[in-house]
Amino acid sequence: MIIAVDGPAASGKGTLTRRLAEHFGLARLDTGLLYRAVGFRIIEEGDDPEETAIAVAAAERLQASDLNNPALRGEAAASAASVVAAIPEVRATLRAFQQNFAANPPGGAPGAVLDGRDIGTVICPGADIKLFLTASPEVRAERRVKELQAKGLEAIYTRILRDLQDRDARDASRAVSPLEPAKDALVIDTSEKDADTVFETALAHITSQNN
Protein backbone atom coordinates (compact mmCIF):
# COMPACT_ATOMS: atom_id res chain seq x y z
CA MET A 1 0.00 0.00 0.00
CA ILE A 2 1.32 3.41 -1.01
CA ILE A 3 -0.07 6.48 0.76
CA ALA A 4 0.74 9.94 -0.62
CA VAL A 5 0.28 12.90 1.72
CA ASP A 6 0.83 16.38 0.32
CA GLY A 7 0.33 19.90 1.62
CA PRO A 8 2.08 23.10 2.68
CA ALA A 9 4.48 23.44 5.60
CA ALA A 10 3.03 22.98 9.11
CA SER A 11 -0.27 21.61 7.83
CA GLY A 12 0.13 18.46 9.92
CA LYS A 13 1.65 16.07 7.38
CA GLY A 14 4.48 14.90 9.62
CA THR A 15 2.24 14.02 12.55
CA LEU A 16 -0.26 12.22 10.33
CA THR A 17 2.28 10.23 8.33
CA ARG A 18 4.08 9.08 11.48
CA ARG A 19 0.79 7.77 12.88
CA LEU A 20 -0.23 6.13 9.61
CA ALA A 21 3.17 4.46 9.27
CA GLU A 22 2.93 3.08 12.79
CA HIS A 23 -0.69 1.98 12.39
CA PHE A 24 -0.14 0.09 9.12
CA GLY A 25 3.51 -0.90 9.62
CA LEU A 26 4.61 1.15 6.61
CA ALA A 27 7.98 2.70 5.82
CA ARG A 28 7.86 6.51 6.01
CA LEU A 29 9.68 9.16 4.02
CA ASP A 30 9.50 12.88 4.71
CA THR A 31 10.48 13.97 1.22
CA GLY A 32 10.88 17.56 2.38
CA LEU A 33 14.03 16.42 4.16
CA LEU A 34 15.60 15.66 0.78
CA TYR A 35 15.25 19.27 -0.30
CA ARG A 36 16.25 20.52 3.13
CA ALA A 37 19.41 18.39 3.00
CA VAL A 38 20.28 19.76 -0.43
CA GLY A 39 19.57 23.36 0.57
CA PHE A 40 21.40 23.06 3.87
CA ARG A 41 24.50 21.60 2.24
CA ILE A 42 24.61 24.56 -0.14
CA ILE A 43 24.29 27.28 2.49
CA GLU A 44 26.67 25.43 4.80
CA GLU A 45 29.28 25.55 2.04
CA GLY A 46 28.63 29.26 1.56
CA ASP A 47 27.04 28.93 -1.87
CA ASP A 48 23.82 30.30 -3.37
CA PRO A 49 20.85 27.86 -3.43
CA GLU A 50 19.42 29.73 -6.42
CA GLU A 51 22.36 28.69 -8.59
CA THR A 52 21.08 25.74 -10.65
CA ALA A 53 24.43 24.02 -11.24
CA ILE A 54 25.35 24.20 -7.55
CA ALA A 55 21.93 22.93 -6.45
CA VAL A 56 21.94 20.02 -8.91
CA ALA A 57 25.45 19.00 -7.84
CA ALA A 58 24.34 18.99 -4.20
CA ALA A 59 21.29 16.89 -5.07
CA GLU A 60 23.43 14.37 -6.95
CA ARG A 61 25.66 13.96 -3.87
CA LEU A 62 22.74 13.33 -1.52
CA GLN A 63 23.04 10.22 0.67
CA ALA A 64 20.33 8.66 2.82
CA SER A 65 22.50 9.31 5.89
CA ASP A 66 22.32 13.06 5.19
CA LEU A 67 18.68 13.02 6.27
CA ASN A 68 19.64 12.31 9.89
CA ASN A 69 21.13 15.79 10.45
CA PRO A 70 19.05 17.53 13.18
CA ALA A 71 19.90 20.90 11.63
CA LEU A 72 17.52 20.05 8.78
CA ARG A 73 14.61 20.86 11.08
CA GLY A 74 15.71 24.48 11.39
CA GLU A 75 14.27 27.46 9.54
CA ALA A 76 17.48 28.09 7.57
CA ALA A 77 17.28 24.64 5.99
CA ALA A 78 13.54 25.09 5.39
CA SER A 79 13.99 28.37 3.54
CA ALA A 80 16.83 27.02 1.42
CA ALA A 81 14.76 23.93 0.65
CA SER A 82 11.95 26.05 -0.77
CA VAL A 83 14.44 27.74 -3.10
CA VAL A 84 16.10 24.58 -4.46
CA ALA A 85 12.73 22.83 -4.75
CA ALA A 86 11.73 25.37 -7.41
CA ILE A 87 14.61 24.22 -9.65
CA PRO A 88 13.29 21.62 -12.16
CA GLU A 89 16.65 19.86 -12.47
CA VAL A 90 16.84 19.35 -8.70
CA ARG A 91 13.33 17.88 -8.60
CA ALA A 92 14.22 15.54 -11.46
CA THR A 93 17.39 14.42 -9.67
CA LEU A 94 15.55 13.62 -6.44
CA ARG A 95 12.55 11.98 -8.10
CA ALA A 96 14.30 8.64 -8.52
CA PHE A 97 15.25 8.56 -4.82
CA GLN A 98 11.60 8.99 -3.81
CA GLN A 99 10.17 6.56 -6.35
CA ASN A 100 12.69 3.90 -5.39
CA PHE A 101 11.69 4.29 -1.72
CA ALA A 102 8.02 3.78 -2.63
CA ALA A 103 8.73 0.82 -4.92
CA ASN A 104 11.15 -0.84 -2.49
CA PRO A 105 10.13 0.10 1.08
CA PRO A 106 13.06 -0.50 3.47
CA GLY A 107 12.89 -3.02 6.27
CA GLY A 108 10.55 -5.34 4.41
CA ALA A 109 7.59 -3.05 5.05
CA PRO A 110 4.36 -3.89 3.18
CA GLY A 111 4.21 -0.42 1.70
CA ALA A 112 5.16 3.19 2.27
CA VAL A 113 3.74 6.54 3.25
CA LEU A 114 5.42 9.59 1.73
CA ASP A 115 4.75 13.19 2.58
CA GLY A 116 5.72 16.19 0.52
CA ARG A 117 4.42 18.63 -2.06
CA ASP A 118 3.99 16.54 -5.22
CA ILE A 119 3.76 12.92 -4.10
CA GLY A 120 0.23 12.32 -5.35
CA THR A 121 0.67 14.32 -8.54
CA VAL A 122 4.21 13.48 -9.72
CA ILE A 123 6.16 11.02 -7.55
CA CYS A 124 3.45 8.40 -6.98
CA PRO A 125 0.48 9.31 -9.20
CA GLY A 126 -0.69 5.71 -8.89
CA ALA A 127 -0.68 5.74 -5.07
CA ASP A 128 -3.47 3.72 -3.46
CA ILE A 129 -4.39 6.62 -1.17
CA LYS A 130 -3.90 10.33 -1.75
CA LEU A 131 -4.41 12.92 0.96
CA PHE A 132 -3.87 16.67 0.84
CA LEU A 133 -3.61 18.54 4.13
CA THR A 134 -4.03 22.27 4.34
CA ALA A 135 -4.60 24.99 6.94
CA SER A 136 -4.62 28.77 7.03
CA PRO A 137 -1.19 30.47 7.05
CA GLU A 138 -2.01 32.04 10.43
CA VAL A 139 -2.74 28.68 12.06
CA ARG A 140 0.33 27.11 10.53
CA ALA A 141 2.51 29.98 11.74
CA GLU A 142 1.16 29.54 15.28
CA ARG A 143 1.98 25.83 15.13
CA ARG A 144 5.50 26.47 13.92
CA VAL A 145 6.11 29.05 16.66
CA LYS A 146 4.99 26.58 19.34
CA GLU A 147 7.13 23.86 17.80
CA LEU A 148 10.24 26.03 17.80
CA GLN A 149 9.62 27.39 21.29
CA ALA A 150 9.21 23.85 22.59
CA LYS A 151 12.74 23.21 21.34
CA GLY A 152 14.00 26.27 23.15
CA LEU A 153 14.48 28.22 19.94
CA GLU A 154 13.56 31.83 19.26
CA ALA A 155 10.39 32.20 17.21
CA ILE A 156 8.81 35.48 16.11
CA TYR A 157 5.26 35.00 14.82
CA THR A 158 5.31 37.76 12.17
CA ARG A 159 8.59 36.51 10.74
CA ILE A 160 7.41 32.89 10.68
CA LEU A 161 4.12 33.90 9.02
CA ARG A 162 5.89 35.92 6.33
CA ASP A 163 8.31 33.06 5.67
CA LEU A 164 5.44 30.55 5.30
CA GLN A 165 3.59 32.88 2.94
CA ASP A 166 6.73 33.33 0.83
CA ARG A 167 7.28 29.56 0.69
CA ASP A 168 3.62 28.96 -0.18
CA ALA A 169 3.93 31.41 -3.08
CA ARG A 170 7.09 29.73 -4.38
CA ASP A 171 5.60 26.25 -4.02
CA ALA A 172 2.33 27.16 -5.76
CA SER A 173 3.84 29.19 -8.60
CA ARG A 174 6.81 27.08 -9.66
CA ALA A 175 6.67 25.84 -13.24
CA VAL A 176 7.37 22.21 -12.37
CA SER A 177 5.33 20.22 -9.82
CA PRO A 178 3.45 23.15 -8.25
CA LEU A 179 1.83 22.54 -4.88
CA GLU A 180 -1.73 21.45 -5.61
CA PRO A 181 -3.99 18.54 -4.64
CA ALA A 182 -4.18 15.53 -6.94
CA LYS A 183 -7.60 15.35 -8.57
CA ASP A 184 -8.40 12.16 -6.65
CA ALA A 185 -6.99 13.30 -3.29
CA LEU A 186 -9.04 13.75 -0.14
CA VAL A 187 -8.46 17.33 1.01
CA ILE A 188 -8.43 17.79 4.79
CA ASP A 189 -8.40 21.30 6.24
CA THR A 190 -6.66 20.92 9.59
CA SER A 191 -7.10 24.56 10.71
CA GLU A 192 -9.64 23.66 13.38
CA LYS A 193 -8.89 19.94 13.76
CA ASP A 194 -6.60 18.34 16.32
CA ALA A 195 -4.19 15.55 15.39
CA ASP A 196 -6.55 12.80 16.55
CA THR A 197 -9.40 14.08 14.39
CA VAL A 198 -7.15 14.35 11.34
CA PHE A 199 -5.89 10.80 11.88
CA GLU A 200 -9.41 9.42 12.31
CA THR A 201 -10.56 11.23 9.15
CA ALA A 202 -7.66 9.81 7.16
CA LEU A 203 -8.14 6.33 8.60
CA ALA A 204 -11.83 6.31 7.73
CA HIS A 205 -11.01 7.33 4.16
CA ILE A 206 -8.33 4.66 3.79
CA THR A 207 -10.67 2.00 5.17
CA SER A 208 -13.44 3.04 2.75
CA GLN A 209 -11.05 2.93 -0.22
CA ASN A 210 -9.78 -0.54 0.69
CA ASN A 211 -13.21 -2.10 1.10
pTM of this structure: 0.90
> What are the Cα distances from residue 142, in Å, to 109, 138, 156, 159, 170?
35, 6, 10, 11, 21
> In angstroms, rounded to a whole number, what is the distance separating the alpha carbons of residues 50 and 172?
17
- Per-residue pLDDT for the chain (211 aa), expressed as one digit of tens each? 999 999 998 999 999 999 999 999 999 999 989 999 999 999 999 999 999 999 999 999 998 889 999 999 888 898 899 899 889 999 999 999 999 999 999 999 999 999 999 999 999 999 999 999 999 999 999 999 998 889 887 889 999 999 999 989 988 888 888 899 999 999 999 999 999 999 999 999 999 987 7
